[in-house]
Amino acid sequence: MKRQIRKSVFETNSSSVHAIIITKNRDFKLPSKVTFKFGEFGWEQDTLDSIYSKASYFITALANLFPNEFEKNKNKLFCMFAEDNIDCEFAEKSEDEYYPHGYIDHVDELRDWVNKMMRNKKHLYRYLFSYESFVRTWNDNIDDDFEKFLNPKVPYKYDYYYKSC
């Protein structure tokens, strides 16, 4: 698969493009509860900016990348959130018989990002709980300009700019 670096963005020649933008701003409020439910993330043009949708993207990536360690990782998340009095709810399985842990197109490209989030609670919290952090999904079959679509609408600097394809 062809790989290209363009404007500090990693991409392959696949049609699906996912960008994860995490703010450096540490000003956010911790919720009392987080629900993790598996989802499907592929070619759609969407912005995931709610805690629920970002948690869904993260848990889907975690489960698909590390299926044999999923229970251990789920317990680690539970303990991490419990330290801050945040209740966690985890969906058992997706309703899709082919994708019991949901689906993310080219999920292997998210391995480094997921590992970093699991190692560093501050990064995970900024991703999940800041309204300035978001995931954009897109595909290059859409005629819209991706650079325009990706452009953040908030003036803060970002810690990560990672495109998964």
Token couple for 142: 């859409």
> How confident is the model over 61-113, as pLDDT tens digits?
999 999 999 999 999 999 999 999 999 999 877 777 778 888 998 899 899 99
Domain count, the chain: 1
Q: Which helix (H) or strand (E) holds 149?
A: helix 146-150
Residue 6 pLDDT grade (very low, low, confident, very high; cuts 50, 70, 90): very low
Residue numbers of the domain that contains 66: 3-164
- Residue 88: the pLDDT is 94
Please answer whether residues 138 and 45 qualify as being in contact, where contact means their C-beta atoms are separated by less than 8 angstroms: yes
The position carrying tokens 């629900």 is 35
- Residue 73: the pLDDT is 95
Give SS3 for 70.
helix
Round the CA-based radius of gyration of the chain to a whole number and report it: 15
- Residue 142: the pLDDT is 60
Residue 151 pLDDT grade (very low, low, confident, very high; cuts 50, 70, 90): low
Considering Cα of 26, then 31, then 37, then 42, what sign does the dihedral take? Answer: negative
Residue 21 pLDDT grade (very low, low, confident, very high; cuts 50, 70, 90): confident
Does residue 42 surpass a pLDDT of 80?
Answer: yes
What backbone phi and psi angles, to 5 degrees, belong to 116? -65, -40
